[in-house]
Amino acid sequence: MPPRKPDGPERGHAPYFVRPDGRVRDVPNAGKRGRTPPRKRHGTSGVPPRLTGRGGVLAILTLSFAGTMVSHWAGIAAAPGVAFTLACLLGALLVRPSDLLSLAVSPPIAFFVAVVAAESVLALGSEGFARVMLLGMASRLAEVAPWLFLGTALVLVIGVFRGLPGNIRDLGDELNGRR
């Protein structure tokens, strides 16, 4: 693998967005002062919402827990899987690019924790708490396995296009003392 370029410009060189020969961009009305055209606004600050890696994992955990509870009460077997997959999709799209690595490894673990929590709540008050909880977890994990693969694959594929390989490279650089 070729050596990485440093994050900033080389000594004596301008950043990539400044032309070295001093030319300016040929933009109409660039030199005129006045009102700028309105920008597209996503939120109140004008930037699209972003989650931290922990926020993305918490969203996956929360939606998976809610899907498991809906599945039990409404009798919809696909609810936990659909909720997990949608949470993975939203998490992969809304998490900051610098936090993609922590999100990429977490979906199966977050789903497992959500299922343990939901099955614990559902097993409360039954005579054989441990037996009811273990049977509920086993059946829930068995019926949701394809959705787990789909959600995790979505996070990884979207993460690759949003900068996950760079995060992995940075982690390798930090672990090897190159940074």
pLDDT by position in tens, the chain (length 179):
556 555 555 555 555 455 555 555 555 555 555 555 555 555 566 667 788 889 999 999 999 999 999 998 998 889 999 999 999 999 999 999 888 999 999 999 999 999 999 999 988 888 888 898 889 889 888 999 999 999 999 999 999 999 889 889 988 888 888 87
Evaluate whether residue 19 is within a structural domain.
no
pLDDT of residue 152: 94
Quote the CA–CA distance of 151 and 82 in Å, as a whole number: 9
Over its C-alpha atoms, the chain yields an Rg (Å, rounded) of: 23
pLDDT of residue 48: 72
pLDDT of residue 179: 72
Domain count, the chain: 1
Evaluate whether residue 30 is within a structural domain.
no
pLDDT of residue 111: 94
Evaluate whether residue 7 is within a structural domain.
no
Evaluate whether residue 31 is within a structural domain.
no
Of 121, 147, 123, 148, nearest to 135 by C-alpha is 123
42 neighbors 49 (Cβ within 8 angstroms): yes
pLDDT of residue 42: 54
Would you list the DSSP string of the chain?
-PPPPPSSPPTT---TTS-TT------TTSS--SPPPPPP-SSSSSS---B-HHHHHHHHHHHHHHHHHHHHHH--TTHHHHHHHHHHHHHHHHB-GGGHHHHHT-HHHHHHHHHHHHHHHHHTT-SSHHHHHHHHHHHHHHHHHHHHHHHHHHHHHHHHHHTHHHHHHHHHHHHTT--
75 neighbors 143 (Cβ within 8 angstroms): no
Evaluate whether residue 24 is within a structural domain.
no
**What tokens does 72 get?**
């039990």
pLDDT of residue 94: 92
Evaluate whether residue 46 is within a structural domain.
no
Evaluate whether residue 42 is within a structural domain.
no
Evaluate whether residue 27 is within a structural domain.
no
The length of the chain is 179
pLDDT of residue 127: 85
pLDDT of residue 150: 95
Full residue range of the structural domain in which residue 160 is found: 53-175
pLDDT of residue 66: 95
pLDDT of residue 177: 83
